[in-house]
Chains A and B, each alone.
Chain A
């Protein structure tokens, strides 16, 4: 089965460039603004959208993304409303892949049989669930695959060659390489180390490898994208959004543009990079 993710990476391969993957939190700072933001992302140069599912206890995320999730929850965001958001986005855009990223508990409570089916029908293409390692594949990975969703696995600097095959076994769409051991928005990713890691993963899989955690600037994004099939930026965009809010944390006239402008600048960086050799 070909998903929007497969199609998008095939297109990018043809033109010889890496993907720019953007992360924003669903419902941040409110559902209506959030929809405007995700609509603006492809127009500003995003190739793939990662949409965060708000959770109270995001143990692998830094303060920026945790705060974004709490802002969304405060205005009543739920998993169901996250699916609604994607359904609304799909009215105008049927090409940009959307990957949901988050933690397992809200999905577990929603129902592991129902969720993948509802997600697929809402127009979601893949899932990244931070706290579901391959050891827990039968929880959600297998039902998601059955429903036609890509299950995108994180590989990290601690995932050695012995473990990689297990991590890659049920992975599809792309592999998400976490450039640092740490939380989102922490240390800067080191392009040289990333280059070696991507090459190592590519010895085990034909899937595209995207790199995230620790990428903030267009220069950073360019350096990483030249070694990988994609660069993921989250915290920097979430920070740009936060800095546009008023004192009560509400959206202002600047909010959508603040995210769109940074997206455009980062996209320029990624597009300036030559894609890593296969």
Chain B
């Protein structure tokens, strides 16, 4: 495709929330006034030093930032190529990168005077982060979660309930993240007067893809500084897993205008790209769902198809609109890893580094296993370790014992 390259990859979206043809605001009229209010509130907050200062305080003392940039020496030796660094987002309070965004949105909700917070969650990481910050700030919290995910992510369901959130199992559709998002939108349409919808990824109607990206960009900004400190230069490549794609966007965005940095996003190929999977870019095409235009898995008639991934957090038939744009203009390379590849990577990282990753970033590690050996020894590769694997321990344990597939 012949698309003009922009002067900056970081200036999007336009004032209507578009990244190229992607993004936008495709929602019911009931929600439009709220989305416009949110945009105003966010613009004001961004320009308010007090908001930034308060957020930085919580990021440091509550979340535990900055997260370390750790040289994975044994993984590097094992793969025999690029020098691999792990951005340790799994060490954040609540165990994943999700907390960065939730903190930002909860502080916005407080500015807007909202008392009730709703969220959707796949693996439960976003739900746990939302439940945590609602507890911290005394807000009512309702989390929608597909009934299938409630089943496979029990540890996180228990955590959310302990934190005082109400977890609503969603029985409609495929009973996974997509349906949880539909249900959350229905709740929002019904309770617009007092409810703030805390979206967990860089998707949804404008301004969500932008504000989530901005809140997550702390990952890439810290990585820049840390890599300069340790190696005296920028990394040569970045790797992150993608469901909706917020951890990836957070790592990638501050590096988009650095042409020397190769960037790889890893989608979930499930049972394989010709079978059930969740790789929207590899196996989908542009369509409109959940408030934005983006790559989606769908049939010839525009009906949304079921996604599948071993990882509940990647099991979504779409991807954030900015990723769709970065794919079409060729700035980011989108790859995919199967369930089996992710499981192998999960075990490798656990055994070599003593770090049990979540199944989501295990997809990124799987591609690092392919990419790193082909790079020279002075190549600096950063992989975003977006979440820890505690939540996946029972599921992976069962699989390894041959109990489930």
Give chain A's interface residues, CB within 8 Å of chain B: 54-60, 62-63, 66, 73, 78-80, 103-110, 130-133, 135-136, 153-160, 163, 167, 178, 181-183, 186
Contacts and interface: CB of A to CB of B under 8 A. Distances in A.
A106 B33 contact: no
Contacts of A54: 303
B29 A109 contact: no
12 contacts: A56-B304, A58-B182, A59-B186, A60-B189, A66-B172, A73-B303, A109-B300, A133-B32, A156-B30, A158-B34, A159-B29, A181-B191
Given A80-B301, A181-B190, 9 more contacts: A54-B303, A57-B289, A104-B288, A110-B301, A131-B288, A157-B30, A158-B29, A181-B192, A182-B186
Contact of A158 (B26, B192, B298): B192
Interface in B146-194: 172-173, 178, 182, 185-186, 189-193
B24 A136 contact: yes
The residue among B24, B189, B193, B293 with the most chain A CB atoms within 10 A of its own CB is B189
A103 B28 CA distance: 10
B190 A183 contact: yes
Interface in B5-44: 16, 24-34
B244 to A, nearest CB: 15
B379 interface: no
Contacts of B303: 54-56, 73, 106
A130 B28 contact: yes
Given A60-B186, A106-B302, A156 B24 contact: no
B80 interface: no
Interface size class of B (residues with CB under 8 A): 35 or more
Q: Could you tell me the dominant secondary structure of chain B's interface residues?
A: mixed
Q: Which among B30, B33, B185, B293 has the highest number of chain A CB atoms within 10 Å? A: B30
Interface in B297-334: 298, 300-304
A186 B298 CA distance: 29
B32 A63 contact: no
A73 B173 CA distance: 12
B68 interface: no
A105 B172 contact: no
A114 to B, nearest CB: 13
- Ranked nearest first, the 7 interchain pairs of A and B with the lowest CB-CB distance are A109-B302, A106-B302, A182-B190, A156-B30, A59-B185, A131-B26, A78-B301
A63 B173 CA distance: 10
B290 interface: yes
B146 to A, nearest CB: 13
Contacts of A110: 301-302
Contacts of B26: 104, 131-133, 136
Contacts of B33: 158-160, 163
B172 A181 contact: no
A83 to B, nearest CB: 12
Contact of A79 (B172, B296, B301): B301
B82 to A, nearest CB: 40
A154 B301 contact: no
A66 B172 CA distance: 9
Nearest to A67: B172
A154 B33 CA distance: 13
B32 A109 contact: no
Contacts of A59: 28, 182, 185-186, 189, 290
Interface in B172-218: 172-173, 178, 182, 185-186, 189-193
Nearest to B183: A59
Contacts of A163: 32-33
B287 interface: yes
Contacts of B25: 133, 135-136
Nearest to B303: A56
Nearest to A61: B186
A109 B301 CA distance: 7
B173 A56 contact: yes
A186 B190 contact: yes
B289 A105 contact: yes
B291 interface: yes
Nearest to A183: B186
B189 A183 contact: yes
Nearest to B192: A181
A159 B298 CA distance: 32
Interface in B329-371: none
Nearest to A167: B29
A276 B304 CA distance: 42
Nearest to B34: A158
A129 B158 CA distance: 39
B200 to A, nearest CB: 16
Contacts of A135: 16, 24-25, 32
A78 to B, nearest CB: 4
A178 B192 CA distance: 14
B301 to A, nearest CB: 4
A62 B28 CA distance: 14
Most buried by B among A108, A135, A153, A186: A135
A181 B189 contact: yes
